[in-house]
Amino acid sequence: MAFNSFRDFVERLAAAGELERISKPVATELEITELADRQMKSAGGGKALLIEKPTVNGQVSPFPLAINTMGSAKRMAMSLGADSIESVAAELGSLLKARPPTGMREALKLLGTALELRHARPRVVKTGPCKEVIHNFEAPVTGTQAWAAAPSTETATGMANPATLLNLPIQKCWPMDGGRFLTLPCVVTKDPDTGERNIGMYRMQVYDERTTGMHWQLQKVGARHGRRYYETGKRMPVAVFLGGDPAFTFCATAPLPDGLDEFLLAGYLRKASVELVKCETNELEVPANADFVIEGYVDPKEPLRDEGPFGDHTGYYTLPEPYPVFHITALTHRREAIYPATIVGAPPMEDFYIGSASVKLFLPIFKMNFPELVDLALPAEGVFHNLVFASIKKSYPMQAFKIMHGLWGMGQMMFTKYIVVVDEDVDVHNTREVLFRLCANTDPQRDSIFTKGPADVLDHATSEIGMGTKLGIDATRKLPGEGFKRRWPPLIKMDAAVKEKIEQILQAK
């Protein structure tokens, strides 16, 4: 089911008892973090918060802020208009079973074809609510289109303070942060060679009213598009949107293969094609029902600028590193926009639920590649991808190692530092169960492998940025061909009949 706006979703959360309204003024500097962190650390992810009067430097912002809106299994499913992520994954799985693809890319291509049949491709419309207020800062980026440098229409809204990066409720999340950061921006770029679109979530540090950082990390698609512009020296158009249907926000975080349009996945998930509008000052398109759109460009001729420090999803501050500067040419928004936000930091945080949804959704596709794969879990303590538990139906020696190498070779799984493989009867979502098997079933040297590969650039523990070592541990039952010469003992389990009888006795009490 599609949401018409972020507000629509926030109201749905309120109706479901999933939202707490905070009517007292709360500072965007640190205070919102403290409020939200308490929710995110409470059982099951706590509640979403609507901060009705966020303050910026002591002044109430013209816009409310909503946070932790996807920070529980229930709210994550609600954001995709579903009862559970498992049901969405099952639907996706059955779609792919019709003609099993051989890989992730082919699987999503197949998905694209299915979507086309459903008429769920994005389509461009003339205008939309994201343009209710248009603030055009300057003349167009490209000379080919005759975009008029329209005067600001802010006064038409009757707003005392026109929306700018300085009065939007943009948080300074943690005490040592280098400034304010947009934490849920969906960044739209295009491959200059193929025209293929990408939407990625890359945080943005506000430098001033007209410039921000653009934190697309080395291995991300936005960064790859950027490198092509740096090679040609041409200005790179970039559009950022916030809000609208929460499915867009989720899709921006989803690790889709390079070249696959996130709006296609969004159209599939929300069961309605995404309506797009052209930006005012460049040729990119953004969802018509977004809450805020920030248009601009990255200039390859300009030196990179330090971004950070930022209290990151690793639970540590990421120290300043050079990133491109994003120049803003226009800011458009809904009149009644709600500013979407999150925080990252020591786990568990909202991003655990967002990441888990991606894993569940793409599990059917992983299974196409690895038929022995039963389940995958990325525990919150591994902050997204540091730690992966995989269960497999093992039928030949060294199969656990095959899975490890396969996973390290799949998209953003390359960032995984530790992979633990267990047998099919282990619930990988129960860390206690996995640790039990890990300790019980391994001879450390025989059952582990160290290898090398790319690392998350945010990982402060690697000796070099962006590269590191990986450890895989085979915690499955050993087969004769695996150098194990003794008898494998049976696992202790109670008889089913005894369990049933005791159950009856307890219930009769």
Residues that bind ligand FMN (CB under 6 A): 183, 198, 200-203, 215-217, 220-222, 253-255, 342, 344, 351, 354, 412
d(CA 440, CA 476): 10
CB of 396 to ligand FMN, least distance (A): 33
Nearer to ligand FMN, 153 or 412 (CB): 412
- Bridge partners (DSSP) of residue 454 are 467
Catalytic residue among 177, 245, 312, 459: 312
**SS3 category, 277:** strand
306 assigned to active site: no
Nearer to ligand FMN, 19 or 256 (CB): 256
Nearer to ligand FMN, 279 or 344 (CB): 344
**SS3 category, 297:** strand
d(CA 475, CA 286): 46
Nearer to ligand FMN, 82 or 214 (CB): 214
Q: Are the CB atoms for 113 and 107 separated by under 8 Å? A: no
Amino acid in position 235:
R
**Measured CA angle at 240 (ends 239, 245), to 5 deg:** 120
d(CA 86, CA 356): 11
CB of 152 to ligand FMN, least distance (A): 29
Q: Which two tokens stand for residue 286?
A: 């953004």
d(CA 76, CA 376): 18
Nearer to ligand FMN, 202 or 317 (CB): 202
| R_g (Cα) of the chain, nearest Å | 24
d(CA 334, CA 242): 11
3-state secondary structure 139-205: CCCCCCCCCCCCCCCHHHHCCCCCCCCCCCCCEECCCCCCCCEECCCEEEEECCCCCCEEEEECCEE
Nearer to ligand FMN, 225 or 327 (CB): 225
Backbone angles phi, psi at 208, to 5 degrees: -160, -170
Backbone angles phi, psi at 298, to 5 degrees: -115, 130
d(CA 4, CA 2): 6
DSSP 22-33: E-S-EETBTHHH
Nearer to ligand FMN, 203 or 270 (CB): 203
CB of 442 to ligand FMN, least distance (A): 31
Nearer to ligand FMN, 134 or 204 (CB): 204
d(CA 448, CA 11): 50
d(CA 49, CA 55): 15
Pairing between β-strand 186-190 and β-strand 197-201 as defined by DSSP bridges: antiparallel
Nearer to ligand FMN, 344 or 359 (CB): 344
CB of 288 to ligand FMN, least distance (A): 21
H/E element, 64: none
Backbone angles phi, psi at 85, to 5 degrees: -70, -30
Q: Which two tokens stand for residue 292?
A: 């805020």
DSSP symbol at 71: -
Backbone angles phi, psi at 48, to 5 degrees: -75, 155
Identify how many contiguous H helices and E strands the chain contains and give both numbers.
Answer: 12, 28
CB of 131 to ligand FMN, least distance (A): 25
Nearer to ligand FMN, 406 or 411 (CB): 411
- Bridge partners (DSSP) of residue 451 are 470
Amino acid in position 380:
A
Catalytic residues: 312
